[in-house]
Structure 1
Amino acid sequence: MAACFAIFALRSFCWLLYIDGDELKIQSPNNLGDLALHITYIKNFANGVSLWPDNPIYVFSKLRYPAGMDLFNALLCCLHVDLTRGLIWTGLLASLATFYAFYRWGGPFAVAGFLFNGGIAGFQILSSSTFLKFVDYQGDKTIAWKSIPLTMFVTQRGLLYAIPAGLLLLWHWREKFWSTETRQDRHRAPLPFWVELSLYASMPLFHVHTFLALSAVLVCLFLCGNAPMRWHIAVLIAGAFVPATFFVWSISDNFHAASMLEWNPGWVMHDPDFGRSTILQFWFENFGIFIPLALCLLAVCCWCLWKSGINWNEKLPEKIAFLLPAAAIFISGLLFKFAPWEWDNLKLMIWAYFLVLPFLWTDLIARWPLEVRVAVCIALFASGFVSLFGGLAAGRTGFGFANRAELDEVGIATRNIPVEARFAAYPLYNHPLLLQGRKVVLGYPGHLWTQGFDYAGTENQLRQLMEGAANWRETARGLRARYLFWGREEQSNYPTSKRPWEKAAGLVASGDWGAIYDLAQAPQPSAAR
């Protein structure tokens, strides 16, 4: 397992962002939009904006994103650590922490569960047309239960902190609240309280869905515990309340962001891409035998609890205390929408999966004969194994991300422009302005949608401005755009623009990459540089 994890981490993060001639490239096609957004946040923080900053991708909002990992990398940039090196080393160290945390939580089986999650999609490798062809079969648009390492851990940088920190908390609570007499690692003390409090209270700054999952676990542990256990949990929640609330207030635009919770029974089963003709087909193709095994585990544990008797004055067995929140989290993900895009419920639902893994092995699979254990592990993990290594093999020549010369020249051109200034530009995920951490009126629509913005009106206003409508100056003021960027993407997407600013606004800089205009100044013949 350690070797497989090392291969995954080295391939994914050493080629996360790299130079190939005149281009910046990335290894994973899943990461094109996500990495661009994170670089925008990192550079925006590193430019020296005030905290908590305005949203660099939407003009009428503060930053609505748990950008703790990006803030960390921005601090590295301020310490003169190269951006690419900072991203690589952060990913590698987070991978090491994640491997350790999974091993502490559930041993090699939990590590395999993280690396090789899947259903039956990967078994296409045995079909005649794709025989022994390693491809990320779970990356297909019709599969909802995709590879967690490839589509979440590498792309959603908050999980670089949330997964290892969350798993360490789960391990700590299990060690602290239940007897360690039968454990080989009983000599290891749980985390100090200040570490426990810091990890839990800071979680909203890095990953809100993980904070919700950990909170659900604490509630269930409180219900399943005895008096000392409940007292500790109450003190922990009370101590975390103020800092956690502050972080939620910061990342929710001072609580002005719309609620992400919405009634949505069925998760993605009604989606035209993810849905199937029958419920059984959906669950089996996505999760394989995992759901039946999890239900069997829950039934066995409940039966054992019933046989042993329930004494409400004593704490319940640890397997019940952790399987209960797993069931609650999973059912909540099926009934409610916790993000604008239903698929993003997996940010929460993966914690139900992580909670089940150690008990699925110790209380069910490990008790079966060797031949059965081998067969079950193959059925559980073979598809994910194929998809993981198929995904790592993809992109041998890389995927184009940005033109290095254009990016550097735009950085030089904007060097003397205030960091709080906002630009009108074509909304593109890897626009050179965004990759330099500059604020634009409107960022990539896919990012805006997943963050819950209703941007249609703003998009229309931006188009009117870029097309050079008669009231373009008033429109620019309404969009708080002091500067206008006109480059190759703008020329391509606004071909009929009248470009009145070329004669009516000051030229700040120009070059092969395009031009920047100051809409608040009159043109000056000597302004170009």
Structure 2
Amino acid sequence: MKWLSAGLIFVNLSTVCGLLLGMAGNGLNELSAVLALVSGGAFALAAYLGTSDSSTRPNISNSPAGESFILPPLKRYRHVWFWAMAACFALFALRSFCWLLYVDGEQLRIQSPNNLGDLALHITYIRYFANGVSLWPANPIYVFSEHLRYPAGMDLFNALLSYLHVDLIRGLVWTGLLASIATFYAFFRWGGMFGIAGFLFNGGVAGFEFLKTLKFGDYQGGKTIAWKSIPLTMFVTQRGLLYAIPAGLLLLWSWRERFFRIGERNRHRAPLPFWVELALYASMPLFHFHTFLALSIVLVCLFGLELVNQLKLTFDLIRREGIAGLRSLIIGKTRWGELFSDTRIRKHVALLLVSSVVPATFFVWLITDQFHARSVLEWHPGWVQNDDDFAAPFFQFWLMNFGIWVPLVFALIGLSGWNAWKSGWRWGKNLPEDVAFLLPASAIFILAFFVQTAPWGWDNLKLMIWAYFLVLPFLWSDLIIRWSMPIRIAVWIALFGSGFISLFGGLAAGRPGFEFSDRAELDAIGIAARRLPVEARFAAYPIYNHPLLLQGRKVVLGYPGHLWTEGFEYTDTYNWLTKLMQGSADWREIARALRVRYLFWGREEMINYPASKRPWEATAPLVASGNWGAIYDLEPTAVRP
């Protein structure tokens, strides 16, 4: 885990240092980018040297499944199933990221239809940061949002790379490939081969449509299926997860090793240095807020479980000895030590949470427009089982989406509780490892099931996947591994068959690629806009791949789908923009109200506003024009932003 720790710290602290230097210097420049990356490299070296990587057996006294242990890494690597999983992961990563965005003649094309809108937004943010705008910047896709409302840490990292003259496409490809390697190894160390398969091939029963059609396809990508392929619809499209998944798994691994698998003699050899845990956890909101929320639930549950244990011991003492016992507890250091000698979980978790309050609050403040973003928490039981295309009767919804996952998890929880009780565990004794992680997994799932945590209910998957990841290692080690080989094979097929078909069917579906942008048009508009102030805002047609957005320029409105998922009420603004672009009689006043400096008139505007009177052509200075269209300066009639 040394290399994983070092790599994640490099990304983490390079980004954080770049952010702080950019805020201090009123924007990024080449010097601040170099300093940030060098600082990240120095911290990465310290993380590598400070990380202790040793394969340990589970503490049998804390786990009813004591016979399930982790073999030394070199022996595990030789296992044929490991290489089978590695080959599948490599095929997914190479196909998804080497063709993430590619040149095809005069066109830029994209491999995944799921990624058309998402990648365009990330390119907007990368180019926006790289243009040197003040940090933390105004929102480039909504004029009335004073600050960017998005955990854009990974995009800021790629912007730093661009200052080292790393090509945009190469930066996206290599970031994706290296994140895939990190994710593969993190899952292997957290959940073994079962964990890797769980990530790659999550699914229910939708993919078994293959038995009728005999054709590979992304059957889980249908409009009626909510539990879609995690690799195709989340890992590739939501760039924050490229960092958040391996970083979150590294923290979970560290806590499992620290609290349950390292014996008394090795307590001084913590898996991760405290400062590494603090950096990864406290800055997580900058990269992926839902992962930060899930990790916080894990920490609170670990703290609460041990606290309940200590309270149980205290109540038992008072019940047995009465006032004398309470007095001995208050004034007797020996008795206090007997009861509270083993509080390593509570002490470590409390220190980590308290130390994270200031930095984590700062990053949350940053990505929520300084707490001005409206709360998206809403009571919404059932996740999306009653929403639009996903709606279905209860049992049909959960069976179609998750197959046998739900009954297996219920069986695991029941078995873990029974084994813990049978082995003699009671409140007041050290926590079993499986109970300690299954409880927060249940809490995360219950929260995601009953409370909507994003404007679009489906986005609760960003939280729900962490309940799924937490369960994976214990579902295998405590339940499935106990069964005979034929039953195990049948369970693997039932759990992962649909996901396997959907994953590789989805990869094949993007074979011809999808048109993303015209290279000549994009380059010409980039050259024209380069001479204009980076803080200026443009009026243009709101579409996800508008050339202005792909060059990192601010517009009045971005793609409505992006605005909706960020929680903006944009209908009135959209109508004003339409009136402006149609050339209504009060277009000057509208331009002033929308804080427009420049008006862009190009291919999309001609198509979508064919009846426009275009009065600006007679009154506003023309600052640039070409085959791609024209840019007009509305400064005489608009307020400079």
Q: CA deviation at 1:275?
A: 1.5
Aligned-residue Cα RMSD (Å) equals 1.5
* 2:441 matched residue in structure 1: 326
Indicate yes or no: 2:409 matched with 1:265: no
* 1:218 matched residue in structure 2: 299
- Of the candidates 355, 358, 370, which is equivalent to residue 470 of structure 2? 355
* 2:52 matched residue in structure 1: none
Instruction: Give the SS at the match of 2:530.
Output: coil
Distance in 2 of aligned mates of 1:396 and 1:149? 17
- Of the candidates 120, 125, 130, which is equivalent to residue 36 of structure 1? 120
> Is the CA contact (8 Å cut-off) linking 1:143 and 1:286 kept in structure 2?
yes
Q: CA deviation at 1:302?
A: 1.0
Greater Cα shift, 359-368 or 267-276: 267-276
Distance in 2 of aligned mates of 1:286 and 1:400? 31
- Of the candidates 173, 181, 197, which is equivalent to residue 112 of structure 1? 197
Distance in 2 of aligned mates of 1:247 and 1:398? 37
Q: CA deviation at 1:272?
A: 2.7
Which protein is richer in helix relative to its size? 2
Indicate yes or no: 2:258 matched with 1:143: no
Indicate yes or no: 2:240 matched with 1:240: no
Cα-to-partner distance string for 1:379-421 (whole Å, 9 max, x where unaligned): 0001100000001111211100000000000001101100000
Distance in 2 of aligned mates of 1:309 and 1:432? 66
Q: Larger Cα Rg: Structure 1 or Structure 2? A: 2
Query: Residue type of the partner of 1:37?
Result: L
Q: CA deviation at 1:187?
A: 12
Indicate yes or no: 2:475 matched with 1:394: no
* 2:330 matched residue in structure 1: none
Distance in 2 of aligned mates of 1:458 and 1:381? 46
Distance in 2 of aligned mates of 1:54 and 1:79? 24
- Of the candidates 74, 80, 97, which is equivalent to residue 13 of structure 1? 97
Indicate yes or no: 2:366 matched with 1:250: yes
> Is the CA contact (8 Å cut-off) linking 1:224 and 1:315 kept in structure 2?
no
What's the TM-score, normalizing by structure 1?
A: 0.96
> Is the CA contact (8 Å cut-off) linking 1:59 and 1:479 kept in structure 2?
yes
Q: CA deviation at 1:312?
A: 3.4
- Of the candidates 181, 185, 209, which is equivalent to residue 96 of structure 1? 181
Q: Which consecutive aligned stretches of 4+ in structure 1 deviate over 6 angstroms post-superposition?
A: 185-188
- Of the candidates 163, 166, 188, which is equivalent to residue 245 of structure 2? 163
Q: CA deviation at 1:303?
A: 1.2
Q: CA deviation at 1:189?
A: 5.1
* 2:271 matched residue in structure 1: 190
Query: Residue type of the partner of 1:162?
Result: A
Cα-to-partner distance string for 1:452-478 (whole Å, 9 max, x where unaligned): 000011111111111111111111111
Q: CA deviation at 1:186?
A: 12
Query: Residue type of the partner of 2:352?
Result: L
Instruction: Give the SS at the match of 1:66.
Output: coil
Q: How does 1:274-293 map to 2 (within 5 A)?
A: 274-276=390-392, 278-293=393-408
Cα-to-partner distance string for 1:235-275 (whole Å, 9 max, x where unaligned): 00111111110000000000000012111111111113111
Identity among equivalent positions (%) equals 73
Instruction: Give the SS at the match of 2:502.
Output: helix
Cα-to-partner distance string for 1:78-128 (whole Å, 9 max, x where unaligned): 11100000000000000000001000101000000000000011111111x
Indicate yes or no: 2:78 matched with 1:78: no
- Of the candidates 64, 69, 76, which is equivalent to residue 149 of structure 2? 64
Query: Residue type of the partner of 1:138?
Result: Q
Query: Residue type of the partner of 1:150?
Result: L
Greater Cα shift, 185-194 or 393-402: 185-194
> Is the CA contact (8 Å cut-off) linking 1:506 and 1:521 kept in structure 2?
no
* 2:17 matched residue in structure 1: none
Q: CA deviation at 1:327?
A: 0.6
Distance in 2 of aligned mates of 1:52 and 1:391? 37
Q: CA deviation at 1:180?
A: 4.2
Instruction: Give the SS at the match of 1:410.
Output: helix
Cα-to-partner distance string for 1:264-287 (whole Å, 9 max, x where unaligned): 1111111131111x2111111100
Greater Cα shift, 287-296 or 313-322: 313-322
* 2:133 matched residue in structure 1: 49
What's the TM-score, normalizing by structure 2?
A: 0.79
Distance in 2 of aligned mates of 1:55 and 1:380? 42
Q: CA deviation at 1:188?
A: 8.5
